[in-house]
Structure 1
Amino acid sequence: MFAHRLRAFGTLARVTAAAAIVAATFTGAATNADASTLTVNVSARANQRSTWQDAFDKFKKANPDIDLKVSYIDEEAYKVQISGWLATDPPDVVSWHDGERMAYYAQRGLLEDLSTDWAKNGWNDQYAAVKGASTWNGKQYAAPLGYDAYGFFYRKDLFEKAGIKSEPKTWNELIDACKKLKASGVQPIAVAARDSWTLAAWFDYLDLRINGNAFHQQLMAGQIPYTDARVKKVFTAWKSLMDNQCFMENALSYDVDSIGPVLVSGKAAMMLMGTFFSASFPANMKQDVGFFRFPVIDANVPMAEDGPVNVLLIPAKAKNKADARRLLAFMETPEINADLARGWGQLPSNNKAAAPEDPISKVGFQTLANTSGGIAQFYDRDMQKEMADEGMKAMQQFYSDPSQIDTLLARLETTRQRIYHK
């Protein structure tokens, strides 16, 4: 009897164990099937992807219950496609830009209101400096990442060879530096004009230095005619640099990805660009690269700067908003904000993040910290998209033929009147 019971118990134990294995298998399958999928689209150049991926890997490790799927898309293609995503079947999170770029979609009801996230996660304090750029109609729609300071990258060794004793601080000193570099056999300023937004940086700074930020913002808002004499003054100053042969030849053949080797090889000595561009220089030559603020043109005009902020957004039609908010909360922590900025050669927008250690970023940080005349987001981030696109197209045409200033400005004014109905 005992043996019979023992055999019966053994059989029962095996059946129970088998049942447990089957149950565990189904439970595991159910757990995997129930794992939340979170889709993210990111605009990134090739040298930025590893920094993004490091942050996403840390998020996945901290949130193993989320199946994170990230798509990396070339920056120019991304700009074309994002409107379609947001209006139809968007991913759960997208990278984008602050200011008018963000507001354009917020006012069309295509973005999730993140105001409660700002309050709950302490962003109102940590991101106070960029809260305004993340706000539309009193509500916050963006989660800030890094931001850039703009200025001139320059080759210290080429400056020394040309006999340039110090970084240009005034307009006349900039033109003098161009002449000396040209005489030494070096093209003074590299320009990636095939990417029209790089020309917009020139327009921004010339306008900010000549007319000031208040005028600039009115122009960006469509409140000032392009035929205004003050706008023509910007293009006239720009043309004077061309007349002094300050710019490289064939600039319209170069984009941002192909312009780096021009400076690395020493064919050109300067370039107006955001601090993110520091990642384009090999580690062994970074000691030869400096960075200086766009020079003063009119000493009576307060110095203003471009400081565009990159952000993450949750589309209004996103399917997994709960996990999207978890991702944003993670990416906005001081540690991750600092890691992203460091990897991109940018500045952290979180005021509790560690200060940048990179020499270029330090200069950019100090430039923005000591700016008394205001901080603009950037030409095509401060302006309605259609107007910005037409403006940048005109800048490329101007760069190709600077004798057509009046014709181009008249056409832009016709466009402004149509878009802004003024």
Structure 2
Amino acid sequence: MTKFRWAAVAAALAAASLAGVAGAAQAGELDMNVAFKGASQRAVWQSVFDDFHKANPDIEVKASFIDEEAYKVQLPQWLSTVAPDVVNWHNGERMKYYARRNLLEDLSADWAKNGWSDTYASTKEASTFNGKQYAAPTVYYSWGMFYRKDLFQKAGIASEPKTWDEFLEDAKKLKAAGITPVAVAGRDAWTLAGWFDYLDLRINGNDFHQKLMAGDIAYTDPRVKKVYTTWKQLIDDKTFEDNALSYDLDAAQPFLFQGKAAMMLMGTFISAGFPANIKDQMGYFQFPIIDSKVPTAEDGPIECLNIPAKAKHKAEAHKFLAFVGTPEISARLAEGLGSLPANSKSPEPADPINKIGFQILSSTKGGIAQFYDRDMTKEMADEGMKAMQQFVADPSKLDELLTQLEATRKRIYHKS
């Protein structure tokens, strides 16, 4: 072979090698860790990954599915060492905890590029830390008042109460008809936290509520005490069933099912478990307005996607977040996860109660709180919910409990 032919072969081999390198450079990869509960949740995530790969055949998706409880334990290590490209997590304080430590990618540009300030308007505040967005919302669920339509009719109540005065008047009518107005699962302290959240949101608003959750407001503040004194009125008026602290959620729901209680404040996630014989009688309405001057906020715990700051394939990660953020994918993911789509442009759910919850959350102007134990540090949340149980057991000790909570706030948040 002549030197000219050797040169031609060498050039061809070099060109092929360069082409191979270029091809390898074009191939992408996306590594995602997914927290899930049950086969149906895993299946819907897998279908989203499959469709993303079909739309982006140059990107290989490698997903690791981890049980939710194990996921919570392992997440801090992933974020601080060898991080995946995308994780799913919770908004609010749980997201801010990692953003504060510079472990999450700033997604503000994604919000601007993808128009998320419009489609995710009601969840933007919960996705924000220090003026920047670090989360892409996926799904959430609504909190509100479940009620028995037939029991309302029996008590002569013509419509759902929209104001606090109407709610109190309806409670009187129910008691006169021999029906407990509201069932409470006080043995599960978190159910009491739902009452605290809504009374605070309706009386003081979400801005105040978030400052309280962040440890910036004293528990001896008169505005906090007003939340509890409003709550105390309900206890004094026998609005709740006797011995409410004896019942967990599973034990309290039968009060509704058996027609002994008319209402329950709870998240829409319980609706799937309603017995078939009373499902048509179950209704759902927004927690009543206490002060019309306070912007209306809601509890709507939000699940989200985040890109770790140490992710290796960030371009692919940003592309995946944009894909999941489309109305159609959001709706499919929500249905498979048993939740509501956080995207306000997604089709409304077919289920009547979820449809109402979706309408409430997607039109909320006063902000969406993440729920008591997601909006504050775990230690303070645990102490706060324990105090709520003590308050329900003996409302006369309110001042003592608030003083105790204030001492705890100062200790945990190092406030004077």
Which digits, 9 at most, give the CA deviation of each residue in 1:374-421, with x for residues without a partner?
443433333344333322232222223323211111111112223142
| Superposition deviation, residue 256 in structure 1 | 4.7
**Distance across 2 between alignment mates of 1:326 and 1:252:** 48
**Pick from 302, 305, 311: which aligns with 1:312?**
305
**Distance across 1 between alignment mates of 2:178 and 2:71:** 39
Say whether 1:334 aligns with 2:327: yes
Which digits, 9 at most, give the CA deviation of each residue in 1:115-161, with x for residues without a partner?
45445555455434433321223433212012333220111122223
In 2, are the aligned partners of 1:144 and 1:312 still within 8 Å (CA)? Answer: yes
Aligned 1:3-152 pairs, distance under 5 A: 38-42=31-35, 44=37, 50-51=40-41, 53-60=43-50, 62-63=52-53, 65-73=60-68, 82-83=75-76, 86-87=79-80, 93-118=86-111, 121=114, 123-152=116-145
In 2, are the aligned partners of 1:276 and 1:344 still within 8 Å (CA)? Answer: no
Say whether 1:157 aligns with 2:147: no
In 2, are the aligned partners of 1:275 and 1:345 still within 8 Å (CA)? Answer: no
Q: Where does residue 288 of structure 1 map in the other structure?
A: 281
Q: Where does residue 415 of structure 2 map in the other structure?
A: 421
The one-letter code sitting in structure 2 at the alignment partner of 1:196 is A
Say whether 1:168 aligns with 2:158: no
Say whether 1:223 aligns with 2:213: no
**How does the TM-score come out when normalised to structure 2?**
0.77
The one-letter code sitting in structure 2 at the alignment partner of 1:73 is E
Say whether 1:383 aligns with 2:362: no
The one-letter code sitting in structure 2 at the alignment partner of 1:150 is W
| Superposition deviation, residue 253 in structure 1 | 4.9
Say whether 1:269 aligns with 2:259: no
In 2, are the aligned partners of 1:178 and 1:245 still within 8 Å (CA)? Answer: no
SS at structure 1 position matched to 2:239: coil
**Distance across 2 between alignment mates of 1:256 and 1:88:** 39
SS at structure 1 position matched to 2:344: coil
In 2, are the aligned partners of 1:189 and 1:271 still within 8 Å (CA)? Answer: yes
The one-letter code sitting in structure 1 at the alignment partner of 2:64 is K
Which digits, 9 at most, give the CA deviation of each residue in 1:294-349, with x for residues without a partner?
12334454433333322122444567767655654443221121123345564422
**Distance across 1 between alignment mates of 2:300 and 2:367:** 10
The one-letter code sitting in structure 1 at the alignment partner of 2:61 is I
**Distance across 2 between alignment mates of 1:56 and 1:315:** 21
**Pick from 155, 178, 201: which aligns with 2:171?**
178
Q: Which runs of 5+ in 1 are unaligned?
A: 1-33
SS at structure 2 position matched to 1:168: coil
Query: In angstroms, what is the RMSD of aligned CA positions?
Result: 3.5
**Distance across 2 between alignment mates of 1:178 and 1:289:** 17
| Superposition deviation, residue 100 in structure 1 | 2.4
Q: Where does residue 10 of structure 2 map in the other structure?
A: none
Moved more, 157-166 or 197-206: 157-166
| Superposition deviation, residue 40 in structure 1 | 2.4
SS at structure 2 position matched to 1:364: helix
Q: Where does residue 13 of structure 1 map in the other structure?
A: none
**Distance across 2 between alignment mates of 1:343 and 1:250:** 37
Q: Which runs of 5+ in 2 are unaligned?
A: 1-26, 55-59
Which digits, 9 at most, give the CA deviation of each residue in 1:161-220, with x for residues without a partner?
333332223334323433444454544322233443322221121122223334333323
| Superposition deviation, residue 71 in structure 1 | 2.1
Which digits, 9 at most, give the CA deviation of each residue in 1:338-370, with x for residues without a partner?
123345564422233223343223333443455
**How does the TM-score come out when normalised to structure 1?**
0.76
Q: Where does residue 393 of structure 1 map in the other structure?
A: 386
- Cα distance, 1:399–1:217 mapped onto 2, change above 3 Å: same
Moved more, 151-160 or 301-310: 301-310
In 2, are the aligned partners of 1:175 and 1:244 still within 8 Å (CA)? Answer: no
Say whether 1:411 aligns with 2:404: yes
**Distance across 2 between alignment mates of 1:412 and 1:163:** 41
In 1, are the aligned partners of 2:44 and 2:337 still within 8 Å (CA)? Answer: no
- Cα distance, 1:284–1:373 mapped onto 2, change above 3 Å: same
